[in-house]
Amino acid sequence: MLTEPEAVLSSYLNHLAVERGLSANTVASYRRDLRRYLDHLKARGLRTLAEVREDDVAAFLTALREGDADHPALVASSAARAFSAVRGLHRFALREGLTRHDPAHAIRPPRQLRRLPKAISVEEVERLIAACGPDGSPLTLRNRALLELLYGTGARISEAVGLAVDDVTTGAPTDPARDQVRLRGKGGRTRIVPLGRYARQALDAYLVRARPQLAAQGRGTSALFLNARGGRLTRQGAWEVLQAAAERAGLSGVSPHMLRHSFATHLLDGGADVRVVQELLGHASVATTQVYTLVTVDRLREVYAAAHPRARG
């Protein structure tokens, strides 16, 4: 059974490039990580992949995290990427009948620190929306309606630009309970989200005073948000609207998803139940939403430190 590491590596890289169609840069990254792995096996006196055992693979994972004379220690995300290449190599060897076992199967990659969602403050949201401009031009009214809707509903940017006019329902000014929007999320799931007063007013102004003018430039579409030519506003177009407003407001690093994060964080800071926020965001699992509760812990600490008589030393 031919299991010389170099021969298997060559076959595996060819498989990645030809059969799986990975890019040249990705294949080069696999090659670099696996060359290091083969050097590790050679240093342990292993001549074939058939000889590799679970503790050999585990030792390589440890070496990735701790580093050595020739390599600096890797952070969890980089070590996980290199380890993924190793697992792929052993799975390939087993599937091709080159080995009879997969020594990497039971080993878990290093746990990565979960990145907490970034949010901007309520004051920064207000600055962002105000930066759309005070004039009542059609594009200004559209931009304000778009940003109010993104922040006011927690919609993904794809959900916002995918809206049709009929997806927005508003009642009489005296009946705000009927103000809502129908969002189509991931996996084709549809959810109904209430419209707050600011979002409803911005949408009303846009629909009455701006959208008809924009629509007159096109061939007719049911899309809610239109571009200057009367067609549906694209994701890229919506992104540019946000970036322009952020620049005028003096905010950096603001993305459409950051408004979604801010929506969730501000709701939880205001006392909303995490399962309500889950429904509003359209998350299939509450576990996805619970990451936002970690964000609000910092706020709880601030309040505790400022208010509790025994918090200050």
Q: E-strand spans in 147-228?
A: 168-169, 180-184, 190-194
Both 160 and 217 in a single domain? yes
Within-domain flag for 112: no
Both 48 and 156 in a single domain? no
Both 64 and 160 in a single domain? no
Distance of CA 42 to the CA centre of its chain: 40
Domain count along the chain = 2
Q: What pLDDT shows up at residue 308?
A: 63
Both 17 and 137 in a single domain? no
Report the CATH number that the domain containing residue 81 is assigned in CATH. Answer: 1.10.150.130
Q: Please identify, among 95, 114, 148, the residue that sits at the C-terminal boundary of a domain.
A: 95
Q: What pLDDT shows up at residue 30?
A: 92
State yes or no: pLDDT of 93 exceeds 80. yes
Within-domain flag for 100: no
Report the SS3 class of residue 68: coil
Token pair 């490039």: residue: 17
Both 206 and 144 in a single domain? yes
DSSP assigned state of 228:
T
Q: Which two tokens stand for residue 41?
A: 């096996």
pLDDT cut 90: percent of the chain above it: 53
Within-domain flag for 104: no
Both 66 and 185 in a single domain? no
Both 147 and 89 in a single domain? no
Instruction: Lowest mean pLDDT of 111-125, 209-223, 245-259, 271-285, name the range.
Output: 111-125
Beta bridge partners of 190: 184
State yes or no: pLDDT of 296 exceeds 80. no
Q: What pLDDT shows up at residue 229?
A: 95
Residues 163, 195 contacting (CB under 8 angstroms): no
Distance CA 267, CA 263 (A): 6
Both 255 and 144 in a single domain? yes
Q: Please identify, among 50, 78, 95, the residue that sits at the C-terminal boundary of a domain.
A: 95
Within-domain flag for 256: yes
Q: Which residues contact 93 (CB under 8 A, 6 or more apart)?
A: 3, 8, 12, 49, 99, 102
Within-domain flag for 105: no
Report the SS3 class of residue 82: helix
Domain that holds residue 152: 122-305
Both 133 and 65 in a single domain? no
The whole-number average pLDDT for the span 274-295 is 75
Write the pLDDT tens digit of every residue in 188-219: 789 999 999 999 999 999 999 999 999 999 98
Instruction: Lowest mean pLDDT of 144-148, 200-204, 250-254, 307-311, name the range.
Output: 307-311
Within-domain flag for 296: yes
Active site residues per annotation: 156, 186, 257, 260, 283, 292
Token pair 């407003």: residue: 245
- In SS3 terms, 248-299 reads as HHCCCCCCHHHHHHHHHHHHHHCCCCHHHHHHHHCCCCHHHHCHHHHHHHHH
Q: Which helix (H) or strand (E) holds 24?
A: helix 24-43
Q: What pLDDT shows up at residue 2?
A: 45
State yes or no: pLDDT of 299 exceeds 80. no
The dihedral formed by the CA atoms of 8, 13, 16 and 21, expressed in degrees to the nearest 10: -150
More confident residue, 148 or 105: 148
Q: What pLDDT shows up at residue 239?
A: 94
Both 85 and 156 in a single domain? no
Distance of CA 258 to the CA centre of its chain: 10
Both 286 and 143 in a single domain? yes
Within-domain flag for 111: no
In single-letter form, the type of residue at position 142 comes to R
Both 43 and 150 in a single domain? no
Report the CATH number that the domain containing residue 153 is assigned in CATH. Answer: 1.10.443.10
Q: E-strand spans in 58-170?
A: 168-169
Distance CA 185, CA 163 (A): 11
Q: Which two tokens stand for residue 221?
A: 């579409």
pLDDT interval class at 80 (50, 70, 90): confident
In single-letter form, the type of residue at position 129 comes to I
Q: Please identify, among 60, 77, 95, the residue that sits at the C-terminal boundary of a domain.
A: 95
State yes or no: pLDDT of 87 exceeds 50. yes
Report the SS3 class of residue 64: helix
The whole-number average pLDDT for the span 240-249 is 95
Within-domain flag for 243: yes
Report the SS3 class of residue 247: helix
